[in-house]
Structures are given as C-alpha cells and as structure tokens.
C-alpha cells in the first residue's frame, strides 16, 4: 500500500513573533480528534487521526512534510491489526499518547478505546465489559515502518482496555504503558514479546508516563505523588515528592496531563490533569526522590477561582521552542466567551506571554492534546474535538528549511 498525498484545508492568523496555521485533514471528514503527534527520526511529523464520536471509525496514520507542506494519508490501522471497524466490536479508534518514534525510523504504538461499534451512537467500557460482540478486544501494540508503510502487529497487550499513555526505553527495548479504564501500569518487552501487568495504581488515569536520561520511568498516583519504575526493574515505587496543588486541597486528581524534557534533558516540565492548572518542574536527579518546583497557575489573573469543571482551563500541548521558552495552550475560563490561547513561559524569568488567541474566524480548538517541534523550529499542536480533525502550527519569524534548530536528540520518546 502506497501513501497518498491528500487534501488539507489551511488558514493562517498572525501571532506574536510569527504566525499560527490551521491544517485540517479534509480527506477524513468524520474523524474528530488528533491525540498522538510526534516527530520521526526522518524529521517528518507523524499524526494519529482518531474517531471517537462516530461509530465504526478506525485510527489513521498521517505524515506531514515540513519542507514541502505535503500531508500524506498513510494507513488505516484497524484492518491491518485484524480489527476492521465494521466487525461489531468497539473500534481501534485511537492512538492516544502512544505514538513513539524510534532511532530506527519506525514508530512504536498502542491503540486506545472509546470509539463506538459500527452503527452505535456511543459506547461504555463497563456496560460492554462482558458483552461478547461490543466489547473492546484490547489495545494492540504494534510497530509502524514508514519505509514500507506497513504494520507489524505484536498482538493485544491489555485485554478489554486501551492504552492511555506510553513511553519507549529504547536502550532496554521496553515500553511502559498505562491502561484505561482500570488504570494499570504495564511493561512490554520488545525483545521477548512479553506483556507484564504491574498492577493497578490508582483510580485516576494519568495522561503521561515519561523517562529520564537513565531510562527510569515516571508517572503519579491519584494525589500527584511521583511514582518511579527504575530502569530494568518491574516495581513501581512511590516517592515522597508531590506535584503542586492549592493549599486548601490535598492534590486529588493532580495526575500529570503533559510532561516535556528541558532542552538539556536535566529536568522536566509538566502540568496537571486536575483543577489546579499549575506549571511545575521536576528534577529527578536532586536526591533520592528528586524535587518539584512550582510555578503556580500556568496563566491568568491571580484570583481566578479553582474550577469545578475538570476540563475548564485545559493546560496542554507543552513544547519547547528554539527560543528556550515553553509553549503551551490554555482556555481562559474567566472570560466570556471562553477563548483558547497559545502562550509561552520563560523558565529563566517565569514571565508569561500571550502568543495569540487561537481563533480562526468563528473557529477555535475544542481542545489541544499534544505538541512536538520539527527540526526547523516550527511547533505543532494536535487538535481534538473538532470534525474534521486538524493540527495547528506555530511558525516563528525567520524559520526556514535551510537551517535546522532541533535534531533527533531533542525529540521525546513518550506521548
């Protein structure tokens, strides 16, 4: 099967220090979310276009070429995994934060659940857990080879569950994952093809598992305490280090939403999938348990209230630019109507700047999921909750395809 160069609707708006472009995947008119987004070893941008609101959709892989602006529609994953989207099961509708690049140029992936079966308007994992037809068979772990545009299916890892987040320890050929909805931590050994369920570690599903330069894997428990799986081990250990929360709260639901390495990989910057909307820095090398520094609310007036709605502010899409600033998106829940902004944070001064409102006429993103840079310094943000699904590209002034500002060493191997 050969990739096909497809159509894409594009629109551009001005932004601080550059411009913001919206690229709509027009050839997938029913797919509604992009969760997995990464930069391959070849410098191309790889995209997982997901379909979770319409029954009978399978995740598609796409590839964007920064040099030519071409968008390729590569492969529909479900049929290649033996799971055609019309087979009656809940579909292989998504690759969530489980689209990971390897040094060999391949992508290491796991599918996720939430898309209804063919003809159904919605789906619940619990209601269908023991239902023989509409049950989700489980998350397929697979390898995608861009050179041959082919998939090697390694089989189902977590049965009846999807994979919410994934990290790739390439030195040890290990994948570390988090399942949904039961919230188990797992390890998949690529050399032996063995799946190991480490066990349930909480009620609240983290959106991130990340790796330090030594191969140690991290996530958090329900209250934001850091959990570490040491490189090569099978144990998940709770550290006496907690990500920040408001003084009147204990940190419940402060699991990570997004975590990125600093440009020198000496520490990590993250935000919570909770009610706090904080930015924080985690240094895993500062003592036995590491340390966390809080930068407070990501942005906004200091007195804006803690939201009762979990998705109110949506601090997401963390990515470092070549200017050494941390870019992210956030909804201004204190504004009427609410507007989603692209912002940047300077770790040296802790100053925040608005890059631009993400408004294209009457459209703004329903959500932004993940982000990645290309080698030239453009920043890509995955859009979710809009039909057709799309991405947004921040193009700083002066960026060309003649000079690279990033390289493979700057690309994280987690979702």
Which H or E element spans position 79? helix 77-80
b/e map 328-349, b = 16+ CB within 10 Å: bbbbbbeeeeeebbbbbbebee
Distance CA 345, CA 326 (A): 5
Query: What pLDDT digit, counting tens, does each position of 260-296 carry?
Result: 999 999 999 999 998 889 999 999 999 999 999 999 9
Which residues does 327 contact at the CB level (< 8 Å), separation at least 6?
317, 318, 319, 320, 321, 342, 343, 344, 345, 355, 371, 379, 394
Q: What's the mean per-residue pLDDT of the chain?
A: 96
Contact 371, 37 (CB under 8 A): yes
- Whether the bond into 270 is cis, omega within 30 of 0: no
Q: Which domains, ranges and CATH numbers included, belong to the chain?
A: 4-410 (2.130.10.10)
Provide, rounded to the nearest whole percent, the portion of the chain with pLDDT above 90: 93
The encoded tokens of residue 305 equal 């209230």
- pLDDT for residue 306 is more than 90: no
Three-class DSSP category at 353: strand
For residue 13, count other CB atoms closer than 10 A to its CB: 15
Contact 223, 238 (CB under 8 A): no
- DSSP-derived letter for residue 221 is -
- What phi and psi values does residue 410 have, to the nearest 5 degrees? -90, 0
Distance CA 370, CA 258 (A): 8
Distance CA 79, CA 89 (A): 13
Beta bridge partners of 176: 167, 187
| Whole-prediction pTM | 0.98
**From the DSSP assignment, how many helices (H) and strands (E) are in the chain?**
1, 30
Residue 6: pLDDT band by 50, 70, 90 thresholds?
A: confident
Between 334 and 149, the higher pLDDT residue: 149
Residue 307: pLDDT band by 50, 70, 90 thresholds?
A: low
Query: What pLDDT digit, counting tens, does each position of 101-142 carry?
Result: 999 999 999 999 999 999 999 999 999 999 999 999 999 999
Three-class DSSP category at 78: helix
Q: Residue 284: exposed, middle, or buried by beta-carbon count in 10 A (0-12, 13-18, 19+)? A: buried
The encoded tokens of residue 296 equal 């407070």
């Amino acid at each position: 099967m050969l990739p096909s160069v497809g159509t894409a609707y594009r629109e551009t708006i001005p932004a601080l220090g550059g411009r913001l472009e919206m690229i709509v995947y027009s050839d997938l008119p029913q797919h509604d979310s992009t969760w997995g987004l990464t930069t391959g070893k070849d410098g191309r941008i790889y995209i997982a276009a997901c379909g979770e609101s319409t029954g009978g959709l399978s995740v598609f892989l796409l590839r964007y070429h920064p040099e030519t602006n071409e968008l390729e529609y590569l492969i529909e994953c479900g049929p290649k995994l033996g799971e055609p989207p019309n087979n009656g099961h809940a579909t292989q509708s998504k690759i969530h934060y489980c689209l990971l690049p390897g040094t060999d140029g391949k992508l290491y992936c796991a599918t996720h659940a939430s898309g209804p079966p063919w003809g159904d308007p919605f789906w619940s994992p619990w209601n269908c857990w023991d239902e023989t037809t509409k049950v989700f068979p489980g998350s397929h772990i697979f390898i995608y080879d861009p050179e041959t545009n082919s998939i090697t299916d390694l089989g189902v890892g977590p049965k009846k569950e999807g994979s919410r987040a994934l990290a790739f320890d390439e030195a040890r050929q290990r994948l570390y994952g988090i399942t949904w909805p039961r919230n188990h931590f797992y390890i998949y050994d690529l050399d032996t093809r063995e799946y190991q369920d480490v066990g349930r570690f909480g009620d609240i599903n983290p959106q991130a598992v990340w790796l330090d330069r030594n191969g140690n894997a991290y996530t958090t428990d329900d209250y934001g305490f850091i959990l570490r799986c040491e490189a090569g081990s099978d144990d998940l250990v709770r550290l006496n280090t907690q990500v920040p929360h408001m003084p009147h709260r204990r940190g419940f639901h402060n699991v990570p939403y997004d975590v990125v390495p600093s440009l020198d990989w000496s520490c990590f910057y993250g935000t919570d999938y909770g009610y706090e909307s904080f930015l924080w820095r985690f240094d895993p090398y500062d003592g036995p348990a590491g340390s966390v520094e809080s930068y407070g609310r990501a942005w906004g007036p200091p007195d804006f209230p803690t939201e009762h709605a979990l998705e109110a502010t949506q601090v997401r899409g963390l990515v470092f630019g070549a200017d050494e600033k941390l870019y992210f998106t956030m909804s201004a829940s204190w504004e009427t109507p609410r507007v989603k902004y692209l912002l940047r944070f300077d770790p040296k001064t802790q100053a925040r700047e608005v890059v631009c409102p993400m408004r294209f006429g009457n459209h703004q993103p329903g959500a932004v999921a993940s982000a990645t840079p290309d080698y030239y310094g453009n920043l890509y943000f995955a859009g979710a909750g809009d039909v057709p699904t799309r991405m947004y590209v921040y193009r700083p002034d002066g960026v060309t395809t003649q000079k690279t500002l990033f390289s493979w060493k700057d690309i994280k191997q987690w979702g």
